[in-house]
Amino acid sequence: MAIAGDQQAHLIVVIGAGPAGMSVASFMAKAGHEVVILNRDIKFGGLAEYGIFPNKLKLRGGLRKTYWEILERPNVHYFGNVSVGNKKDLTIEDLRGLGASALVFATGAQGTKTIGVEGDSAVGVYHAKDVVYHFNRLPDFAERPFEMGRRVAVIGVGDVMVDIAHWLVQYKRVEQVTAIARRGPLERKYNPKEIRAVCSVIDQDALAKEFARIRPRLEAVGQNPDEILKDMLDEFAKWEPLTSPSKIGFRFLASPRRVLTDGQNRVRALEIEETKLEPKGEDTAAVGLKQYYEFPCDSVVFAVGDRVDETLGLPYKNGVFVTNPSKTNHDPDDALFQAYDEASGKVVDGVFLAGWARKASEGLVGVAKRDGEWCSEVASRYLNAQPARDRNTIDGVVRRLRGLLEERKVLAVDAEGLRLLEKAEQERSPSNDGIGEFKFSSNQEMLAQVRNKRETCKVPAGH
């Protein structure tokens, strides 16, 4: 429901059109507010479009449908291909100058986490998110070469490792993928459902040998290797079909210390330190044993989580945006959605955080959606205490935004443009790189398609 001429409402700018941002947009639009969405990527969806594994077409399709319904509301204005941040298309100061009632940052976790080991800038060292963006054909990453070689070490044992391994064995057909974990098999992080995608190529003999190798160290902390191995193998009982000559293995109690390179600064091995487990409260911690060995590999992928992009310009500390440390009266955790400036000791007025921008790498699409809803409730309480805007004021904000984008020659793509792009992609046959559908892989191509289609639409029939 768009606001009527005399009705008072608010205009909210949502930065980021992933699951969290779209959830905020949906909530606010349904509440009768006007919503502007600014998104770095031309397409909406964030990691729902460019993160979840390409063959999850049903999940991706369902989310797209939901997001289209949000964009088609008359009180939602979409601007794709608009980056916010220091030295970007628009800065936070620009946004504050527009006169919106609130800004909600749902920009995800665009920074990469490393474990800071020597050699991590060698040729053949990659960050998981970049690889994921590559195989999901996000412009900038789609056409970047990712030379994986024959043997790939993936650091981490979470769901992202599983997706990367899946791509490597099914589409890159590398010889061997090894998941490297500082702790043991009990502390594996992947979801048992996710491992089904690749478990048919997990080398079970090698896994049994790995358990035999680390058995004394598991038993030393009271873990039962036989039970853990059985649980792991039970998870492999349900498997999804996958034909690949590749093998997947695990190396546990292994802390990467250095990336070792050849004369051309290419990866040739990982130097690994053996670890043991030590109890840490209810959990365990890995402790280095100062025994090192070389683990030969041709490439290394760090799948150890993400951090936020500090160049956005929000108060930032240690990989996260700073949120209000004081508890609010309503629900103490509401404060976690409010941006906070430590220098002034104050909440940043009218600025909120949602999804992975608030808590990097936390949970699935459903979690990001719920986070967006919670954030919206917190922002709504703020809005209720603010003077509402009338139609003219709200239209003025949108006009000023368009003016600013035009002045800076930013080629923003609106919902109508996205529909044209979608049509252009659907007219093409799916590419044979495993993503199951056709996707243009550069912004130039996408913008050209939108332009061409718009011009074609303008030509009257019969001409």
Ligand X SMILES: Cc1cc2nc3c(=O)[nH]c(=O)nc-3n(C[C@H](O)[C@H](O)[C@H](O)COP(=O)(O)OP(=O)(O)OC[C@H]3O[C@@H](n4cnc5c(N)ncnc54)[C@H](O)[C@@H]3O)c2cc1C
- Binding region for ligand X (CB under 6 A): 15-21, 38-41, 46-48, 51-53, 56, 83-85, 106-108, 110, 132, 160, 163, 312, 355-357, 363-365, 367-368
Specify the 3-state DSSP secondary structure of 334: helix
Q: Which is nearer to ligand X, 15 or 35 (CB)?
A: 15
Work out how close the CB of 428 gets to ligand X at its nearest, in angstroms, rounded to a whole number.
23
Q: Which is nearer to ligand X, 53 or 374 (CB)?
A: 53
Work out how close the CB of 13 gets to ligand X at its nearest, in angstroms, rounded to a whole number.
11
CA dihedral (146, 152, 153, 155) positive or negative: positive
Give dist(CA 443, CA 63) in Å, integer: 22
Q: Which is nearer to ligand X, 48 or 103 (CB)?
A: 48
Query: Hey, what's the torsion of the CAs at 82, 85, 90, 91, to 10 degrees?
Result: 160
Work out how close the CB of 97 gets to ligand X at its nearest, in angstroms, rounded to a whole number.
17
What is the number of the residue whose Cβ is closest to ligand X? 18
Work out how close the CB of 136 gets to ligand X at its nearest, in angstroms, rounded to a whole number.
8
- Report the candidate in 265, 15, 233 with the shortest Cα–Cα distance to residue 120: 265
Work out how close the CB of 430 gets to ligand X at its nearest, in angstroms, rounded to a whole number.
20
Counting Cβ atoms within 10 Å, is residue 205 exposed (0-12), middle (13-18) or buried (19+)?
A: exposed
Give dist(CA 133, CA 126) in Å, integer: 12
Q: Which is nearer to ligand X, 388 or 410 (CB)?
A: 410
Q: Which is nearer to ligand X, 119 or 158 (CB)?
A: 158
Q: Which is nearer to ligand X, 267 or 375 (CB)?
A: 375
CA dihedral (28, 29, 32, 33) positive or negative: positive
Give dist(CA 302, CA 61) in Å, integer: 29
C-beta separation of 151 from 298 below 8 A: yes
Give dist(CA 295, CA 144) in Å, integer: 27
C-beta separation of 251 from 203 below 8 A: no
Work out how close the CB of 460 gets to ligand X at its nearest, in angstroms, rounded to a whole number.
36
For 202, which DSSP code?
B
C-beta separation of 89 from 413 below 8 A: no
Q: Strand 76-80 vs strand 320-321: parallel, antiparallel, or unpaired?
A: unpaired
Specify the 3-state DSSP secondary structure of 156: coil
Work out how close the CB of 225 gets to ligand X at its nearest, in angstroms, rounded to a whole number.
30
Work out how close the CB of 131 gets to ligand X at its nearest, in angstroms, rounded to a whole number.
9
- Report the candidate in 130, 78, 135, 67 with the shortest Cα–Cα distance to residue 431: 135
Give dist(CA 169, CA 201) in Å, integer: 8
Q: Which is nearer to ligand X, 107 or 261 (CB)?
A: 107
Q: Which is nearer to ligand X, 48 or 379 (CB)?
A: 48
Q: Which is nearer to ligand X, 214 or 348 (CB)?
A: 348
Specify the 3-state DSSP secondary structure of 77: strand
- Report the candidate in 130, 103, 129, 113 with the shortest Cα–Cα distance to residue 314: 103
Q: Which is nearer to ligand X, 41 or 235 (CB)?
A: 41
**Which two structure tokens, joined as six digits, stand for 342?**
């430590």
Work out how close the CB of 277 gets to ligand X at its nearest, in angstroms, rounded to a whole number.
27
Work out how close the CB of 159 gets to ligand X at its nearest, in angstroms, rounded to a whole number.
6
